[in-house]
Amino acid sequence: MAGEWATKTIAECASPEPYSTQIGPFGEKLKAHSYTPSGVPVLRGTNVNPEGRFHDDDFVFIDPAGADAEFEKFVCEAGDVVLCHKGTLGKIGIIPEGSRFSRYVMGNSMLKVRCDQTKLEPLYLYYWLSSKDGQDYLFSRVSQVGVPQIQRPLSTLREATLPVPPIPDQRAIAHILGTLDDKIELNRRMSETLEAMARALFKSWFVDFDPVRAKAEGRDPGLPKPLAALFPARLVHSDLGEIPEGWEVHHFGEVVEQVRDNENPLASPEVAYRHFSLPAFDDGQWPKQELGESIKSQKSRVLPGVVLLSKLNPEIERVWLVDVRPEDHAVCSTEFMVLQARQPHGRSYAYCLARSPVFRQQIEGLVTGTSKSHQRAQVDSILGLAVVRPSDQLVQRFERAAEPLLQRTLACRRESRTLAAQRETLLPKLISGELRVGDPERFLEAASP
């Protein structure tokens, strides 16, 4: 059991090469004026705060010559474990094999560990730092004065003590947890792709009017003939600019209706609610499970098949395709409008419309309030926004194409939550040695949802 495992510090398990444990550059050494349009990417908190193990995008860069001359000891590469010591705390990353770049430079708020892989498997260290023991250790050494930051960050990291099982056991543990994370990441990418397909179809048909423009120019619209026949062959002027001939300008309130069904969860203190809040949206778009007694204010009831649209700070796009079943007790913040599509429109059409760039521009223009953090668009104004109304037949054809894509998106998210819950259950038991692993593949097969 875990008592049989050695206990070592990270410093004892780090690579013997210089700067294998390192804190990012101090002060003025790396500032915005150092950044260049391309070159060596700089690691920041955004790169270790993704849904997966590493976000290999959204970089600023420094000149490669500068990286060689001034930042050699701050260079990171595949296999290095990285984390923030200031600002965004508690998130851990590991640079993957096959990363986009061969090297990275640590930003000011970063720490790194390069393991001696004869002693410590990097992915095992990543999971230990992500575990309750690792997180408790880091947060017990955080200063709350000013910006949250780890005190004596490099020493704190080097002095961290963790159980170190034999390398084969480390690899087995990392394989099990990594396989679950890989499935979650695959689901995330698939979900994004499926939703992007639905939104791209909406944009092509109802925003850019691609089939109409093709027919107007004598080109083949690239659609089956019965579908192509539903699109006119000419654009005409309207209050919204050019729109297809025969289509009309209506209000958003003719596409959706607002469901005004309120509930006070405090009246049912022992009921478990799925709470669709603004923070829950921002944290991966998954509602928090809460008892009614912990939800202190009036909420809106969330029904199956609705779309949630935030009125608060509309420059932040918060449009939620919710996954709710009839038996669920689901509520949301009253900052959300609960929208039900009006026939012949369906949920997919309403959702894609609410996320379309033209609609987002319109809603941002409705803001009232002077405080930047509490600007709102009024419900009547949102429902009164002008939108293009295609034929009923075309709306129905879009629903038939888009709804299966969005249903599969929700299924991917649902499976990922099951996998994430499984990983969170297994992580502390595997890292502590409470649960021992023989054959990782058989273990995963037995534990699969």
Domains (range + CATH), the chain: 2-164 (3.90.220.20), 252-389 (3.90.220.20)
Mean pLDDT of 95-109: 93
Mean pLDDT of the chain: 92
Read off the pLDDT band of 370 (50, 70, 90).
Answer: low
For 301-360, what is each residue's pLDDT tens digit?
999 999 999 999 989 999 999 999 999 999 999 999 999 999 999 999 999 999 999 999
Whole-number Å distance between alpha carbons of 174 and 311: 43
pLDDT at 73 over 60: yes
Cβ atoms of 48 and 81 closer than 8 Å: no
Burial of 16 (0-12, 13-18, 19+ CB in 10 A): exposed
Read off the pLDDT band of 436 (50, 70, 90).
Answer: confident
Mean pLDDT of 242-257: 96
Tokens of 429: 């038991």
| pLDDT reported for residue 439 | 56
For residue 93, give Cα distances in angstroms to 37, 59, 127, 273. 24, 15, 10, 32
Q: What's the pTM?
A: 0.86
pLDDT at 441 over 70: no
- The separation between CA 256 and the C-alpha centre of its own chain, rounded to angstroms, equals 27
In three-state secondary structure terms, 64 is helix
| pLDDT reported for residue 98 | 92
DSSP classification of residue 280? H
pLDDT at 2 over 60: no
Tokens of 293: 């007694």
